[in-house]
Amino acid sequence: MAATSARSIDKTRCLGLCLVISAPSGAGKSTLVERLRAEFPHFAYSISCTTRAPRGEEKDGVDYHFLTREEFTARREAGCFAEWAEVHGNLYGTPKGPVEEHLASGRDVLFDIDVQGALQVKSVFPQGLFVFIQPPSRQELERRLRGRGTDSDEAIAKRLGNALGELRQSGQFDYLIVNDDLDTAADELRAIYVAGRTRTANRPGLLDALLAQWESAK
């Protein structure tokens, strides 16, 4: 019975966790995020807004909220975004309201966003966990980008140039994962998340509640 009571207190007094994952384009971030979500389907995924066109089978409201540049600008000026950035000529932003609601209700939120956006989120939700996924080398990153077959030589050169700037900012993240071996990188990301859920900051009032249980049992 005591164990049941402790679990009940734990669930009702936990705040949601912000897990923010960023990487240069082509570093394999999406695959790692998919693996994490497959194991932990309870995540409230942060669906970003963007002005870029859908790719492949991407769906509005599922992969992104696809907006015109005018719609995006209006929402930005109204203060609706926790972060926003212009990447490769397109605007991206994360709606702030849904994130705050999820965290307050105790649900973890996963952010899969670019480096500029991640650092803005850090200023709004500093209690989050910030993870940067690194490619093992410039050569491997270029090979992956070319292997996608979706970008021109000019676009690939731009992405590689942006990757260097993003790597220079990676020291501002809490954790760095080198995605050389996919299984190893996935294990490291899982470990970061599982450990993060037990942080004191995510369990405000839990210690007082447990102490109160002990005092009432005297």
Q: What is the pLDDT of residues 64-90, one digit of tens each?
A: 999 999 999 999 999 899 999 887 899
Give one DSSP letter per residue of 62-90, joined into a string: TTBEE--HHHHHHHHHTT-EEEEEEETTE
Least confident of 34-38, 97-101, 172-176: 97-101
Q: What is the pLDDT of residue 78?
A: 93
Residue 87 CA to chain centroid, in angstroms? 17
User: Is 2 a residue whose pLDDT tops 50?
Assistant: no
127 backbone dihedrals φ, ψ, rounded to 5°: -80, -5
User: Is 5 a residue whose pLDDT tops 70?
Assistant: no
The candidate with the shortest Cα–Cα distance to 91, out of 123, 48, 58, is 48
Q: What is the pLDDT of residue 154?
A: 87
Question: E strands within the chain?
Answer: 18-22, 44-45, 49-50, 65-66, 81-87, 90-95, 109-112, 129-134, 175-178
Instruction: State the pairing for strand pair 65-66/49-50.
Output: parallel
**Could you tell me the pTM of the whole model?**
0.77
| Domains of the chain and any CATH numbers | 2-202 (3.40.50.300)
